[in-house]
Amino acid sequence: MYHILVPVDEHVDRTWMEIDYLNSLPADRDATQITVAHAYENEPRDDQPVERPEAVRIAIQELEADGFAVQHREISGPPSDGIVSLAADLEADAIVMAGRKRAPTAKVVFGSVTQSVILNSTCPVTVVGISE
């Protein structure tokens, strides 16, 4: 089974970019496992219920409705370290993550999390959603 890790932050617009990209792949959905992951900078306390961000709920619901097998994982600590570590633990075949335009001069610059994942991951990383 082909396994894709999809890190999702709180930004719903970026989540839709990831969903659109995944739906554009010529993948056999029955042979594709997607893990939607969300990083929490501060680990939640055991007595404190954690509510999934809207973007995570949308990713899971939409990808399941589109026919993918989807699981959810939470990451604690620095997002880039957690994403790279989780990809290795899952033996992910690929990571798909949304980028963003950062400079006011309209130059595309990867965010620090995206750049760190690209540099440290042992599997291919596809960055979607960046346009000028």
State the Cα–Cα distance between residues 55 and 14, nearest whole angstrom.
8
Please tell me the predicted confidence (pLDDT) of residue 105.
41
Please tell me the predicted confidence (pLDDT) of residue 44.
56
Q: Check: CB of residue 22 under 8 Å from CB of residue 59.
A: no
For the 2-128 domain, the top CATH level (class) is: alpha beta
Q: Check: CB of residue 54 under 8 Å from CB of residue 16.
A: no
DSSP 8-state symbol, 132: -
User: 57 φ, ψ to 5°?
Assistant: -60, -45
From the first residue on, what is the mean pLDDT of each consecutive set of 10 residues in the chain (132 residues)?
Answer: 96 96 95 95 61 93 97 93 97 94 51 90 92 54
State the Cα–Cα distance between residues 68 and 84, nearest whole angstrom.
22
Q: Describe the crossing of helices 79-90 and 112-120 by its angle, rounded to 10 degrees.
A: 30
- pTM, entire model: 0.87
Please tell me the predicted confidence (pLDDT) of residue 107.
40
State the Cα–Cα distance between residues 53 and 123, nearest whole angstrom.
26
Q: What is the residue extent of each domain of the chain?
A: 2-128
Please tell me the predicted confidence (pLDDT) of residue 47.
59
Consecutive H or E run containing 35: strand 32-40
